[in-house]
Amino acid sequence: MASVPDIEKKQPTRIAVVFPGQGSQVVGMTSELAETYPEIRDTFTEASTALGEDLWAICQDEEKLGQTQYTQPALLTASIAIWRILKQKISSKPCYLAGHSLGEYTALCAADVISLADAVTLVHKRGQLMQDAVVGVDTAMAAVLGLEDQRVENLCEQAAEHVDDAVVGAANFNSPGQVVISGNAAGVTAVVDKVKNTGKKSIPLKVSVPSHCALMEPASSALAGILAKITFDQATIPVIQNRHARVESSAAGIKQALTEQLSEPVLWSKTMQELADKQINVLIECGSGNVLSNLAKRQAQPITSYPTDKPARIEKLMEVLS
């Protein structure tokens, strides 16, 4: 793969910004950035006021940060705080935005479709709905490594058909050879056992709710009613959404995609391919950690990606873009 300097000699820099989802949170996220950039604490204050919860304190509390209804607004706020820093530093407007699962809401907020106040309130409620949907249910998620997407889907279908009370499906198509499955414990365990029989491996994920599967359908229905009451404005930057890996141009289309996203899989590999097809050659991960940057390396057409969760990483990005 060509280096960024080689790419820049041949064609203009085309930037996309991507926002991470649940699982990227870490205790104390953005604390190092806050020492340099006042935008961090200012953004957390704004979001905390809107939500009525001290999101900065939640980011320092491992137990609370692990609860879905708090994880989601905390992560969104962290990403928007970094986005506000980058907007002042990057001279070229990004061509596209995208977000992984929860990160899609962050992308829409960054694109001025929804305000920060509406966004944190919305994802807080989304987290509550997700938690409520599986009260009393033994749930699980696992990353399956080394199998083709269709093979994983087939294993999920077989488990759901042959194992009593099993609910399981592909939740995230993250990169070639990495598919996350989600459902109840019986369904996920059945698929994990089948994966072992193929000689491939799976990794259990520590999550509080099984995202993007049929168990989330009650939450999806309730979310639709909440979304209907929120004003969505025209995007200032196109957002590629998870549901179909495409840009939805109307408010109704965006809301429908968000509703379906909760119980349908995240098409991240297709989203990344869409960005590659649109000649994106610099990917900026805006948020906690570098999960999406690592996934970018594993795509069929990798795009050089830069995380921005530390001052040194932002400095490196600025060097590249200059």
Output the six-digit token pair for 25: 């949170």
Element (H or E) spanning 84, and its range? helix 68-89
139-208 has CATH 3.30.70.250 classification: yes
pLDDT of residue 2: 43
Task: Indicate the pairing of strand 201-204 with strand 139-145.
Answer: antiparallel
pLDDT of residue 12: 85
Which residues carry out catalysis? 101, 212
Q: Class for domain 4-133+215-321, per CATH?
A: alpha beta
- What local confidence, expressed as pLDDT, does residue 206 receive? 86
Q: Which amino acid is at 149?
A: D
Q: Where in the chain is the domain with CATH 3.40.366.10?
A: 4-133+215-321
SS3 40: helix
The pLDDT value recorded for residue 264 is 97
Q: Which residue has the tokens 């965006």?
A: 254
What is residue 211's predicted lDDT score, i.e. its pLDDT? 95
Inter-helix orientation angle 116-133/102-110, to 10°: 170
Range(s) for CATH 3.30.70.250 in the chain?
Answer: 139-208
Distance of CA 312 to the CA centre of its chain: 23
pLDDT (0 to 100) of residue 10 = 56
Closest CA to 159 of 190, 137, 189: 190
Q: What's the pLDDT score for residue 1?
A: 42
pTM comes to 0.94
pLDDT < 50 regions, the chain:
1-9
Q: Which of 88, 72, 69, 85 is nearest to 25 (CA)?
A: 72
Q: Quote the tokens at residue 138.
A: 């033994």
